[in-house]
């Protein structure tokens, strides 16, 4: 009825209520909107704590996010980066990317810290090294289309974009589910797998 998308309405709420340059408050304000106004499929605070814990344990210098959406996960990742680290985030939907770009910059992250790349992941991944300077990633956060998880993991492998000992963190592998990705990760012999129990967002 308003002529704007849910994502744009959420950003307007952020502009009105969030403290610019305060990533933690940006995420809290997002959560308020999603709990009380409209649901958005962001990572959310419960699963966010798992992401924060992994960042703390791994202290990755090069992070790749597949599926920026509104930028919630991007801000969550960026605020937990060690000094000098860089985050590359890929979003296939230009309208979502436009909102995410504003959210990321509102949170106070520059292009030197967070680079948002717009385009289908299967087209962007092969160009990451030459076009964007990502030699390899220490941490990959997958939160895009579940059917793309396995394809994109194999692309990362074939283009040698995973650093030795890299961590792959994949959201919602049980529901809605990414069974082929899960089977591959468990049986290919390249990864140690751990399933984190969590609830759906909000």
Q: What is the model's pLDDT at position 199?
A: 85
pLDDT of 136: 98
Give catalytic residue positions. 143, 146, 171-172, 201
Q: Is residue 70 part of a domain?
A: yes
Q: Quick check: is 200 in a domain? A: no
By the 10 Å C-beta count (0-12 exposed, 13-18 middle, 19+ buried), 109 is classed as buried
Q: Is residue 116 part of a domain?
A: yes
Residue 202 lies in a domain: no
**In 10 A of CB 8, how many CB atoms?**
17
Domain presence at residue 199: no
- Structural domain total, the chain: 1
In a domain, 66, yes or no: yes
| 114 membership: H or E segment, kind and range | strand 114-118
pLDDT < 70: residue spans in the chain: 1
Say what the pTM is: 0.96
Question: How high is the pLDDT of residue 1?
Answer: 61
Domain range for residue 171? 6-188
Is 160 domain-assigned? yes
Q: For the domain that residue 37 is a member of, what is the CATH number?
A: 3.40.50.150
Contacts of 23 (CB under 8 A, 6+ apart): 75, 76, 78, 79, 107, 108, 109
Residue 198 domain-assigned (yes or no): no
At residue 3, the pLDDT reads 84
């Amino acid at each position: 009825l308003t002529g704007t998308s849910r994502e744009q309405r959420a950003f307007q709420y952020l502009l009105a209520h969030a403290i610019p340059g305060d990533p933690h408050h940006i995420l809290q304000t997002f959560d308020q909107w999603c709990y009380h106004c409209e649901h958005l499929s962001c990572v959310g605070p419960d699963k966010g704590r798992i992401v924060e814990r992994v960042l703390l344990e791994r202290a990755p210098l090069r992070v790749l996010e597949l599926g920026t959406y509104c930028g919630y996960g991007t801000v969550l990742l960026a605020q937990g980066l060690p000094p000098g680290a860089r985050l590359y985030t890929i979003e296939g939907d230009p309208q979502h990317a436009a909102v995410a770009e504003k959210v990321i910059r509102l949170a106070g992250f520059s292009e030197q810290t967070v680079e948002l790349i717009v385009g289908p992941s299967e087209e962007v991944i092969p160009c990451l090294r030459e076009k964007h300077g990502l030699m390899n990633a220490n941490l990959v956060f997958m939160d895009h289309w579940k059917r793309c998880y396995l394809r994109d993991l194999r692309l990362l492998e074939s283009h040698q974009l995973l650093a030795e000992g890299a961590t792959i963190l994949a959201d919602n592998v049980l529901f809605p589910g990414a069974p082929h990705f899960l089977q591959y990760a468990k049986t290919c012999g390249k990864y140690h797998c751990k399933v984190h129990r969590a609830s759906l967002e909000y």
